[in-house]
């Protein structure tokens, strides 16, 4: 084909083929804009970030990047703005990740990119022989230390069947499990473990039928059905000294 002898024409043909191949379900165009729907039949999708983390980590700060939802075999970009969340500080009211308008339909997955994560934990200086008593301030007071955590290089997919209906709002909470951060040797490791819940399901996580039994549950298991951890904040009835 004689026209391929022109470097400019060859480059344009190659670029068009590359862009055409990049529309598969496994690729997100980095220059794409979030889908925008302006229709009287559109519905609203709101996604929040929740979590219930325990242990010595005082704070877990994550940065969430682009978010997509899967409709059929097509991924729709619904949010591109990076947002930062302190997962350890989240309780009954999870903060909003994004809110957008979509055409009515059914969806099966949510995926997002973690752009960064940091853990903050208390460290007692090695020169200290004891912890300070309540109200005591001295050189032995615990200091807050920051550790940058490795995050997955690939996007995190969360299976969840949901629908968006005309003039209605669908609310979803991406809920980080307490096993997401674990101490390995002397460093913390971050392995995101989460699921998608409705707001009502998320609220049930904070209902503790064991609170009030006279025993402070400071140590528990981490599997499904295990009683939640208790402390002075979550169950003052049992844990107040």
Q: What is the DSSP letter of 183?
A: E
Domain count for the chain, please give it. Answer: 2
Residues 77 and 56 in one domain: yes
pLDDT of residue 57: 79
- The predicted model gives 194-220 an average pLDDT of 81
What is the C-alpha to C-alpha distance for residues 9 and 200, in angstroms, rounded to an integer?
57
pLDDT of residue 30: 56
Say what the pTM is: 0.70
Residues 6+ positions from 156 with CB-CB distance below 8 Å: 111, 112, 113, 114, 192, 194
Residues 36 and 97 in one domain: yes
What is the C-alpha to C-alpha distance for residues 210 and 235, in angstroms, rounded to an integer?
9
What is the C-alpha to C-alpha distance for residues 43 and 163, in angstroms, rounded to an integer?
9
pLDDT of residue 25: 37
Residues 215 and 184 in one domain: no
In the predicted structure, residue 131 carries a pLDDT above the cut 60? no
- Residue 201 belongs to a domain: yes
Lowest mean pLDDT among 143-147, 167-171, 194-198, 222-226: 222-226
- Residue 122 belongs to a domain: yes
What pLDDT band is residue 18 in, cutting at 50, 70 and 90?
A: very low
Task: Tally the residues of the chain.
Answer: 241
- Residue 153 belongs to a domain: yes
What pLDDT band is residue 17 in, cutting at 50, 70 and 90?
A: very low
The HSE-up count of residue 99 (CA atoms within 13 Å, CB side) is 7
- Residue 79 belongs to a domain: yes
Torsion sign across C-alpha atoms 68, 71, 72, 74: negative
What is the C-alpha to C-alpha distance for residues 6 and 8, in angstroms, rounded to an integer?
5
- Residue 202 belongs to a domain: yes
What is the C-alpha to C-alpha distance for residues 107 and 54, in angstroms, rounded to an integer?
32
- Residue 14 belongs to a domain: no
Apex 200 CA angle, 199 and 201, nearest 5: 90
Q: Are 126 and 162 in contact (CB under 8 A)?
A: no
Strands 43-51 and 169-176, sheet pairing: parallel
- Residue 43 belongs to a domain: yes
Q: What is the Rg, in whole angstroms, of the alpha carbon atoms belonging to the chain?
A: 23
What pLDDT band is residue 208 in, cutting at 50, 70 and 90?
A: confident
pLDDT tens digits along 41-97 = 999 999 999 987 766 678 889 999 999 999 999 999 999 999 999 987 787 789 999
- Residue 181 belongs to a domain: yes
User: Residue 239 is part of which domain span?
Assistant: 208-241
Residues 217 and 114 in one domain: no
pLDDT of residue 33: 75
């Amino acid at each position: 084909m004689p026209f391929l002898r022109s470097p400019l024409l060859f480059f344009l043909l190659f670029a068009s083929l590359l862009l055409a191949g990049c529309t598969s379900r496994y690729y997100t165009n980095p220059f794409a804009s979030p889908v925008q729907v302006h229709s009287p039949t559109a519905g609203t999708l709101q996604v929040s970030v929740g979590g219930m983390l325990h242990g010595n980590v005082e704070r877990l700060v994550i940065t969430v990047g682009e978010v997509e939802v899967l409709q059929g075999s097509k991924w729709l970009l619904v949010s591109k703005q990076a947002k930062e969340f302190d997962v350890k500080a989240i309780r009954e009211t999870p903060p909003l990740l994004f809110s957008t308008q979509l055409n009515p339909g059914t969806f099966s997955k949510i995926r997002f990119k973690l752009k960064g994560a940091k853990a903050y934990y208390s460290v007692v200086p090695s020169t200290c022989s004891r912890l300070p008593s309540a109200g005591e301030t001295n050189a032995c007071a615990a200091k807050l230390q920051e550790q940058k955590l490795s995050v997955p290089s690939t996007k995190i997919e969360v299976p969840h069947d949901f629908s968006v209906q005309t003039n209605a709002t669908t609310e979803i909470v991406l809920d980080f499990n307490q096993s997401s951060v674990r101490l390995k040797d002397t460093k913390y490791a971050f392995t995101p473990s989460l699921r998608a819940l409705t707001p009502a399901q998320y609220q049930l996580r904070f209902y503790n039928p064991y609170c009030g039994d006279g025993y402070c549950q400071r140590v528990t298991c981490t599997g499904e059905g295990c009683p939640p951890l208790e402390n002075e904040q979550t169950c003052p009835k049992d844990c107040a000294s």
